[in-house]
Structure 1
Amino acid sequence: MVEVKLLEENAAILRKTAGKWMDKRLVLLTAAQFAARQERIDEREFTAVSNKIKKTGSIFSPLRTIHFPMTGLLMTKEGDPDESLEKLLLHYETLRSAGFRSSVYTYIAAFLVEGSTKPERIKEIFEEMKRYHRFLTSHEDYPAAVIMAKRPESAGDLVDSSERYYRLLNDHGFWKGNDLQFLANMLVMDGLFQKQPAESVLQAKSELEGRGLRVKSMHYPALGVIALSGKIEEAAKMAKELKDTQQLKWSKDMAITISAIFAPQAYIDSSAGLTASVQAMVQAQQAAIAATAAGVFAASSSSDS
């Protein structure tokens, strides 16, 4: 497949700049961000943007932990990466002033914030999440709160719908936890509770398992992306092919996550009639899943070294 070939080329480029301590999964995830857009990475530009990100905070800044995938997100975002970085830092400070803790997820949330998104609205939704899951809800849910804040419905209605998705999927064998909460929150981005999105998630899980792929809780957010993209069969086929490649020999769990990065792009490319807001919704989900997964992997990699 052309996508897999470009993924391998981009991964090879990134390995030159990553350094030996960079988690291989982070390299693959970042390479996929570009390959999904049919882009070959410019090594010099990537290095320049990456270094600029690392210099924006102290050595202990959470942003340094995810500088690699964040570079990919800023470079694949429309517009100038330097301007996007400035907006990221501005939105981060805005979230901090609204009471959000400093973490990698605060930066991920800041990346997803748009100019019209009010921090008070994001905070209200985050606090509503605690109504159902006081001990489960944490800084990991900041990005989901930003995504949900873009909907016009009340914070209470949005979180109520998320909880209905959470319970329905749990009744169908999904494990309780933050991964399931994030998936439920993502489904609300498509509107208030309906059975169809949940059925699509169950279909995506069944399709992947039918191809011999083991779906873990870490894959729940990716299932949401695949389900809402409408490209379930294509994503499952790609995940199977990725799993069997040499590139993922030691990171087979990444096959589903990477296929979820490609699925939304295919949805956008084949749906020219979509409104700009729907396209933005799909891209925001891609960014959230890629960056959230990267944040988890980066954190685990740092603790292991």
Structure 2
Amino acid sequence: MLNRKLDLMILNSEKIENVDGTFAMGMFKKSNALTLTMKNAEINVSNVNNARNIIKDKTSLISNFRSYNLLTTAVNLSLFDNPNEAFDEILDIYNKLKKQFFQSAYLVLVAHYLYTNKHKLPIDESIIKTKEAYDRMKTNHYFLTSSDDVMASAMIATNSNNLEKTFEEIEECYKILNNNGYFKGNNLQALSNILCFAEGTPKEKCNKVILFDKELRNINMPLKGYALPILGIAILVTDDYKELALAIKETDDELKKHKGFGSMSLGYATRCMISASITCSTYLENTSEVNNTFTETTKNAVINIIIAMQIAASAAAAGAAAGASSS
């Protein structure tokens, strides 16, 4: 199954080049190819281009739905039976989010996430709960928490039954990992947030992260920097960390043979995140013990971490942060 998913990632990466308006969007194209691959979907270029036109018809040139988000939103819409209706709802959610948060490109991602998870919570309730989660995060890490953390807040809000307890566990994980040599900062905060989806005590979860990290370092493939949160995803899928580390390495070795996945064109850290995401997704699909709800939560976590990271990295590299004007 891993080879099949890897082949699908490569195919989607090749075919996404045919989508309109994607010149000089390398990291974003890989991000969206990964999103499709995680859902076992092959890109339909015609549907994506149709979705692009829907977005352009309904938003202004300075909208946060344009620029890099145009491709991401179009790819997501292409998977719906009625993209026109879906986008109207997503746009409505986005406008509601703007009343609670500062405008940013990340709110587009949050709007889509809340739309696809509306079966868990009514939209208005999920927005209120997302704001509560964000405020708790801001209280705990005032200088670290910013617009890129609204997505994590939304994920926590839609999956936590007790925000107070959840954030106590997140903070405990943050402290334990910091005491074990992991530097304080945004990446450690993101990793700690992901760990709230795992079972066990904070100490048990952190010990798993440390063990898996050691296995990766033993084969000279550390997940660090903005790839650090993937350590939290990986421990959700298996207890055999050595086998998982070797599987990720095997995936990475194969992936870098293909055009557009080399260290020069894509970057080592980004490719490692893609390799780990593909491998973990395959493990999830092969693990009968994991129930459907937990599997979907984990997949969403992987997908949204990758997308958010690549949007931030690409926007910074291009010097083209999304405009703050309204749609």
Task: Specify which of 40, 57, 60 is matched with residue 59 of structure 2.
Answer: 57
Percent identity between the two aligned chains: 21
Query: Match for residue 69 of structure 1?
Result: 72
Distance 1:270 1:80, change over 3 A: farther
Separation in 1 of the partners of 2:90 and 2:55? 10
Task: Specify which of 278, 289, 294 is matched with residue 278 of structure 1.
Answer: 294
Separation in 1 of the partners of 2:276 and 2:73? 18
- 2:194·2:232 contact (CA, 8 Å) conserved in 1? yes
* Correspondence list, 1:185-264, <5 A: 185-190=193-198, 193-230=201-238, 232-233=244-245, 234-249=247-262, 250=264, 251=266, 252-264=268-280
Separation in 1 of the partners of 2:256 and 2:176? 29
TM-score by length of 2: 0.81
Amino acid paired to 1:73: N
- 1:161·1:192 contact (CA, 8 Å) conserved in 2? no
Greater relative contact order: 1 or 2 (C-alpha under 8 angstroms, separation 6 or more)?
2
Gaps of 5+ in 2: 322-327
Offset at 1:273?
5.5
Task: Specify which of 119, 141, 147 is matched with residue 155 of structure 2.
Answer: 147
Offset at 1:19?
4.4
- 1:46·1:71 contact (CA, 8 Å) conserved in 2? yes
Distance 1:139 1:48, change over 3 A: same
Gaps of 5+ in 1: none
Separation in 1 of the partners of 2:212 and 2:190? 17
- 2:94·2:111 contact (CA, 8 Å) conserved in 1? yes
- 1:248·1:255 contact (CA, 8 Å) conserved in 2? yes
Q: Deviations over 1:100-124 (max 9, x none)?
A: 1111211222222233152222111
TM-score by length of 1: 0.87
Q: Deviations over 1:161-190 (max 9, x none)?
A: 111111222222322211221121111123
SS at 1:35's partner residue? Answer: helix
Task: Specify which of 44, 48, 54 is matched with residue 46 of structure 1.
Answer: 48
Query: Which portions of structure 1, spanning 4 or more consecutive aligned residues, are displaced by more than 6 angstroms?
Result: none
Amino acid paired to 2:104: S
Separation in 1 of the partners of 2:153 and 2:249? 28
CA-based RMSD of the aligned residues comes to 2.7
Separation in 2 of the partners of 1:286 and 1:83? 26
Amino acid paired to 2:17: R
Amino acid paired to 2:30: L
Offset at 1:138?
1.0
